[in-house]
Structure 1
Amino acid sequence: MYVPPAFREEDLPTLHALMREARLANLVTATADGLMATPLPLLLAPEEGPYGTLYGHLARANPQWSLPAAGEAMVLFSGPEAYVSPSWYPSKKEHRKVVPTWNYMAVHAYGPAEFFEDAGRLRDVVVRLTDRHEGVRAQPWAVADAPEPFVRGQLKGIVGLRLPITRLEGKRKMSQNRTEADRAGVAAGLGASDSAAERAVAALIPK
């Protein structure tokens, strides 16, 4: 990922927070059949290793896990993003030398993709993923709510993923390269949007 110094994000807690908030990531590996990618919800274990470790699972029928990968895998996490209109820049009135752009946050995690089939480990990952996403619901569903024979059958249809992170790249592009007045203009433009996602980006622009 191309990361100019103005947009580089290196604070580990900030990177981990974005990874958790992304909810759905993309696992990318280079195989003999070419690049392969799978969208996955992932768990982050921050205490495992210097940058943390990711856990998830893939369908057993997905060939990505069984094809040998060349080198490390990459996991893409996308954060808040929004289109930026040049009409929001006060500097447009001064010199008109402005163009559209995009504000966004992203984290790329790298490391070896390790796949496993052990039923106990798989159950642990599935339970933790379920609890994470069901925990915010008024009446959360739990894996234990399903019949045990059914759960065992479902576990046979997946394989687990463990990816110890060896390096992280983070990018926070939120108009830091613009003047204070231009940043204020972008924040006002996005803040007036009907889109909650665009208003969320407005709140991240430095004052």
Structure 2
Amino acid sequence: MYNPSSFAIKDLPDMQQQILATRLAILVTHGEQGLQASHIPVLLDAEQGPNGTLYGHFAKANPQWQELQNGAEAMVIFAGADAYVSPGFYPSKAEHGKVVPTWNYVAVHAYGVAEVFTDADRLLNLVSALTDRHEAGRTQPWKVADAPVDYIDGMLKAIVGFALPIQRLEGKRKLSQNRSAADIAGVREGLAASPDAQDQALAHLMR
């Protein structure tokens, strides 16, 4: 992605934190079928490999997993909060009027070549870990073991798992760093006053 140095996230733990905070990632490949993208939840093992390893699964009916099996490089997008920035937020608008709208956002892109697997035990561990992560905090969290064993066995035959060691990471945190201190404060205050949760999240990041 286009990533000027003033916006680039250079700290690995910061980028990994954004990965962990993203509930649904976008996995993109390019192969014989052209560009393909799937929206999938993934797990990050931050300790496996220099940048960590991502784990997830596809429906077996989704042909994109075959691109991974064939060695296609994958890009996994982890989008954070984003917000429209109105020129009206800038105090400099009143001074010279030379302002235009923009967008503030946080994003991390992970790249690598994945290993595909269909081993039932490995898939069971993966879907159990994914379930436990997203059920955490519920009053009565559901577990994979709550479903009949034969039903889960059948469901596992309908998916394909992958492990993607992250070979390259790019992180971007565009928070008006290229503006004056007064304009940054104006954007922060404008977004904080918005009723939109993402606008407020961006304002919090700008503190």
Equivalent residue number for residue 14 of structure 1: 14
AA aligned opposite 2:98: K
Aligned residue for 1:172, secondary structure, equals: strand
Per-residue CA deviations over 1:165-197 (Å, capped at 9, x if unaligned) read 001000000111111110110011100111111
Equivalent residue number for residue 186 of structure 1: 187
CA shift, 1:134, in A, is 0.2
CA shift, 1:138, in A, is 1.3
* Aligned 8 A contact 2:31 2:72 in 1: no
* Aligned 8 A contact 1:29 1:69 in 2: no
Per-residue CA deviations over 1:86-126 (Å, capped at 9, x if unaligned) read 11100001110000000000000000022110001100100
Aligned residue for 1:57, secondary structure, equals: strand
* Aligned 8 A contact 1:108 1:168 in 2: yes
Partners of 2:139 and 2:84 in 1: how far apart?
A: 34
Provide the TM-score with structure 2 as the length reference.
0.97
1:83 is aligned to 2:84: yes
Q: CA RMSD in A?
A: 1.0
Which runs of structure 2 are paired with 1:165-184 in the superposition (5 Å)?
165-184=166-185
AA aligned opposite 1:187: R
AA aligned opposite 1:84: V
Equivalent residue number for residue 205 of structure 1: 206
Provide the TM-score with structure 1 as the length reference.
0.97
Equivalent residue number for residue 44 of structure 1: 44
Q: Which runs of 4+ in 1 moved over 6 A?
A: none
Equivalent residue number for residue 73 of structure 1: 74
AA aligned opposite 2:39: P
Which runs of structure 2 are paired with 1:1-207 in the superposition (5 Å)?
1-67=1-67, 69=70, 71-206=72-207
Partners of 2:113 and 2:85 in 1: how far apart?
A: 36
Partners of 2:106 and 2:154 in 1: how far apart?
A: 39
Partners of 2:113 and 2:71 in 1: how far apart?
A: 10
Partners of 1:151 and 1:71 in 2: how far apart?
A: 30
Structure 1 residues 53 and 136: CA distance shift in structure 2, 3 A: same
Aligned residue for 2:137, secondary structure, equals: coil
Stretches of structure 2 that go unaligned for 5 or more consecutive residues are: none
Q: Percent identity?
A: 59
Per-residue CA deviations over 1:16-50 (Å, capped at 9, x if unaligned) read 11011111001111111101111110000000000
Partners of 2:15 and 2:132 in 1: how far apart?
A: 22
Q: How many residues are treated as equivalent by the alignment?
A: 206
